[in-house]
Structure 1
Amino acid sequence: MRDGAWESGAREGFGPTPLRILLLEDSDLDTELLGAVLDDLGHPYSLDRVMTQAAFTQAIAGGGHDLILADYVLPTFDGLSALGIARAQCPAIPFVFVSGTLGEDVAVEALKRGATDYVTKQRLDRLPRTIMRALAEAKARAERERAQRDLRALNETLEARVEARTRELAEANAELHRQISERTRVEEALRQSQRLEAVGQLTSGVAHDFNNLLTVISGNIEFLGRAVTDDRSKRRLEMMRGAADRGARLTAQLLAFSRRQRLEPTPVALNQTVASMRDLLQSSIGGGVRIETTLQPDLWSALVDATQIELVVLNLAINARDAMAVGGCLTIETANVTLTDPPTRPEEPTPGAYVMVAVSDTGTGIAPEVLTRVFEPFFTTKAVDKGSGLGLAQVYGFVKQSGGGIRIDTRVGEGTSVRVYLPRAEAGASLNEVPPPEVDCVARRAPDEAPVLLVVDDDSAVREVTTSILAELGYAIRQASSGLAALQALEADPCVDLILLDFAMPGMNGAEAACEIRRHWPHLSVMFVTGYADTDALMRAGDVGAERIVQKPFRNGELQRKVAAVLARSPAAPGLRLVSSRAGA
């Protein structure tokens, strides 16, 4: 190894590390001359000399050289063969021919085959510059290749990053679309719920007022029926009575939609209900429709009004029949269902355990624009004389008031399945009502005096009809036009046998008045006479069993019968005087 000054080389950018030079040369004298020239490089170096093809191949395989210097003519080997080995094994290492017999044609051929440069032994003074240029080109080529590799790696990672970022943006975009869709769905569900709620409030108010009118009409028809004797007038009265009854049924449907109807929830075995209705359903839908049932054997009990659930199944069956103009198959299915997904529409049930009854048909299906309105009262796609548009509205109101929900699966041209989800009754649930306590106050009346009834109603015409009906039965009647007036009347004289309260009254409604009465006169008995009833409010008021609520308009002696039944269960106890908790206030 020869060491020379390396400062100039360091300035050229090769650094102080010694160059490793592989020399293919068979002449000792030429080797000495080349060593002297290399000392002028101004850079430390080490020289590995070989003379045969085997030694050259072995040295190439060992690697680690920075430069190859080769003679062209060797006794058993030639420079072009060495060049081929070098280009195959280490193509990045500069290869420079140093020869005394290298002609121009040979030099050109050598350069074509990959030699970096050539120097004749007659011009060895050119060797240092040639070496420095070859090393600089090799360094530049290595840096260029390294830059290309880095660029390729960067491109590969860039593609991966772009792909990852694109995927992130796609996922974010999909999530945004999902959120927008969910918000749109929630807003639509809210609008639908608000629309149904507004319509429900409107229909309940109309039904209440209409029931008050029907009460006056029905009551006066009853009075006139006792007075007229000719058959023609009686027939007219009977027609009027029939019209009033149809009006009452219409308001009952409106109250069902607005969730203001009176319900008596009891544990119901829906399998038995469906089985018992088969003949009724078949006669209602005709022989052109085949009825099939799929009933779950271990079905839970449903906590619903038994009479109303029969009307629900009948309504759905009739709707299914109308959707199958040329006959088909109607399937009634029951199942135990536990729901976990939140509702997507106002009519759908919330998560929980339900008893499901489904009515499916093979009819025409429901178009999407119709499906959004099927529960609105009076909305119908049938001919004018074919339906009132209250069937599904009544089903909706009953199911929601019962604490359940509805889902409709439909395909145009294939059929519809209406699934009704009803709350599950707890095992061993009992809904028997505790009989009301007895009224003790009779001190102000004689033993044979008629029972005293307090009739509270803000509608004077309804109040007149009610008091007239009850007065004919021999009861002593007191009246009040509001809940506050009733409280004032009781403060003056709390000794009454029964209080009949209208539910919908301005200021203090019937339920609120009943709560006040129970708080101050707990032994007084209360009944509700109403066109509709808020079940929650009545439950807070207490005594809300069927025997304590009379629906307007009065029909078939219901008012008289229930008043007599309540009084019979609440006999006055002679000799005791009720002391009002408000006395002396």
Structure 2
Amino acid sequence: MSKAYSAAQWRVPVLLALIAAAFLIFSGVAIALYEENIYRAQQVKAFTEQASILAANETAAVIFDDRRSAQEYVDAMKVNPELQAVAVYNRAGRLMAQTSRVGPLPYTLDRVSQLSSLGLLSISVPILQEKVKIGTIYVWATEEPAQRRIARYLGIGLLMVMGALVLVVLGVSQRALSRANAELELRAENLTLLNAKLQQEMEERRKTEEALRQSQKMEAIGQLSGGIAHDFNNLLMIAMGNLQLLQKRLGEEAGPLTRYIESAEEGLRRAANLTQRLLAFARRQPLTPRPVDLSRLIEGMQELIRQSVGEHVDVALNLTSSWRTLCDVNQMENVILNLAINARDAMPDGGKLRIATRDLTDLTPPLESDRSARGDYIELLVRDTGSGMDEETRRQAIDPFFTTKPLGQGTGLGLSTAFGFVRQSGGYLGIESAPGEGTTITILLPRTAEDEGIVS
């Protein structure tokens, strides 16, 4: 009885131990399988995130078929040793960029299935632009090596070792995942910086191309209008000379014809004035440049400016420039007066007109200017509080014969003449305006090194 009790008493703990061992073994297997699935899911998630980030950064390169930029983004993925191959396919399914440790990749998207025999983890992510697919990213990566799985399963037989292995595997996995996430964040940050740099370069390229197109357009218009104006001016001089000769020949016998001759001469003079303004825009007019102090020049014109704009416009001068520029004084006076009159017309109900000058040291003019060299410039600023202009009107403001004034109240040559004169003087004229915010005209003229001939 005692022995039977002892045997039963012994078998119960053994059975419990076996049950516990079996449970632990079953739990170890379940945990091992669970960890394997988790590890694979983490791999899939990590590689999918990398592919998604790459797809987001490849959007611009695919749109513009920029294979060089596309390859730079792909090359950045080489730092991950688990990635065996990365490919970028465009909208047509053709290969744009690649990196591979398993040999050449398929040139077309429909042959990607040929790589299934390699036993690699394959992930594809679409390249989207406003929810429209414009390409595909493919990533091939190695799964967990078989040797690692075998080693883990062999340890299941030893309960304590199995527990230790589970803890070690968990710790290693967590550390590996943390390192992978840190590396992924670093790569994502680098890709974001590259994308921002690419966007900035694209914007600078767009501005440069727009400035070049504007410069070429104005140059073509200037050559055309200058040639026509030059020939037309010669014809006007012939007509004017013949009218004067006719008046001289008729003498006192002209009688009532004198009035018609004088009217014709007045019309010819006005036409000649228009041709001179066209020649100024085309930069073909003869100039008499000399050193000019713009501040003193404007100060001497302030009474004329106030009379021209009227009492309803408040004129404020802020003349701080003391440098001189080389330009034609008479033409410069015409430009300043014309800008003041334009400002007056933009403020029919009154407003404020500010005219300012200042010296700018070591300045690089905008791309639209003839001179892009860094140097010293005098800035002339004319700002009004008028109705302003929209972007389309602002772009056309310096085009010859473009005007927003009613028919008969403007020739459309004021700003174009000023633009031509400033360009001929080696400077820059820019316009800033918005509806309801007034208009600012900025003129930059290079500083002259001459010491004599200051114009007061």
TM-score (norm 2): 0.64
Aligned to 1:246: 270
Question: 1:133 deviation in Å?
Answer: 9.5
1:414 to 437, 444, 450: 437
Q: Does 1:332 align with 2:364?
A: no
Contact preservation (8 Å) 1:348, 1:407? no
- The partner residue of 2:284 within 260, 271, 276 is 260
In structure 2, what is the equivalent of residue 149 of structure 1? 171
Q: Quote the offset at 1:334 in angstroms.
A: 0.7
RMSD, aligned α-carbons: 3.0
- Measured in 1, the distance between the counterparts of 2:381 and 2:314 equals 16
Q: How does 1:382-397 map to 2 (within 5 A)?
A: 382-397=405-420
- Answer yes or no: is the 8 Å Cα contact 1:204–1:254 preserved in 2: yes
1:102-501 aligned within 5 A: 136-228=158-250, 229=252, 230-296=254-320, 299-338=322-361, 340-341=363-364, 343-346=366-369, 351-429=374-452
Aligned length: 316
Using the aligned pairs only, state the percent identity. 38
User: Take 1:207 and 1:366, find their aligned partners in 2: how far apart are those partners?
Assistant: 29
**SS at structure 1 position matched to 2:356:** strand
- Deviation track 1:160-218 (CA, whole Å, cap 9, x = no partner) reads 22222222222222222222222221111111111100000001101111111011011
Q: Is the 8 A contact 1:204 1:255 kept in 2?
A: yes
Secondary structure of the residue aligned to 1:260 is coil
1:378 and 1:242 map into 2 onto residues whose CA distance is 21
Q: Distance in 1 between matches of 2:166 and 2:14?
A: 30
**Secondary structure of the structure 2 residue equivalent to 1:379:** coil
Offset, 1:410: 2.0
Deviation of residue 240 (structure 1)? 1.1
1:349–1:404 CA contact under 8 A, matched in 2: no
Letter in 2 for 1:212: N
Distance 2:450 2:200 in 1: 41
Give the helix-richer structure, 1 or 2.
2
Structure 1 runs (4+) deviating above 6 angstroms are: 100-103, 105-109, 132-135
Distance 1:138 1:389, change over 3 A: same
Distance 2:264 2:256 in 1: 13
State the shift of 1:319 in Å: 1.1
Measured against aligned partners, the alpha-carbon deviations of 1:434-456 in whole angstroms (never above 9, x if no partner) come to xxxxxxxxxxxxxxxxxxxxxxx
The worse-fitting range, judged by mean Cα deviation, of 210-219 and 277-286 is 277-286
User: Are the aligned partners of 1:349 and 1:406 in contact in 2 as well (CA < 8 Å)?
Assistant: no
Instruction: State the secondary structure of the residue aligned to 2:396.
Output: coil
Contact 1:366 1:410 in 2 (8 A): yes
For the residues of structure 2 that align with 1:399 and 1:348, how far apart are their CA atoms? 12
d(CA) in 2 for partners of 1:116, 1:191: 78
Q: Find the residue that maps to 2:407 and give its secondary structure.
A: coil
Q: What secondary structure, in the 3-state scheme, does the structure 2 residue paired with 1:266 have?
A: strand
Q: Classify 1:339/1:251 alpha carbon distance in 2 versus 1 (closer, same or farther; 3 Å).
A: farther
**Would the alpha carbon gap of residues 407 and 338 (structure 1) be closer, same or farther in structure 2, given more than 3 Å must change?**
farther
Distance 2:156 2:262 in 1: 125
For residues 249 and 180 of structure 1, the distance between their equivalents in structure 2, rounded to whole angstroms, comes to: 44
Cα shift at 1:354 = 1.1
Aligned partners of 1:426, 1:219: CA distance in 2, in Å? Answer: 43
Which aligned pairs between 1:537-576 and structure 2 lie closer than 5 A?
none
1:349·1:405 contact (CA, 8 Å) conserved in 2? Answer: no
- Between 399-408 and 173-182, the greater mean CA deviation after superposition: 173-182
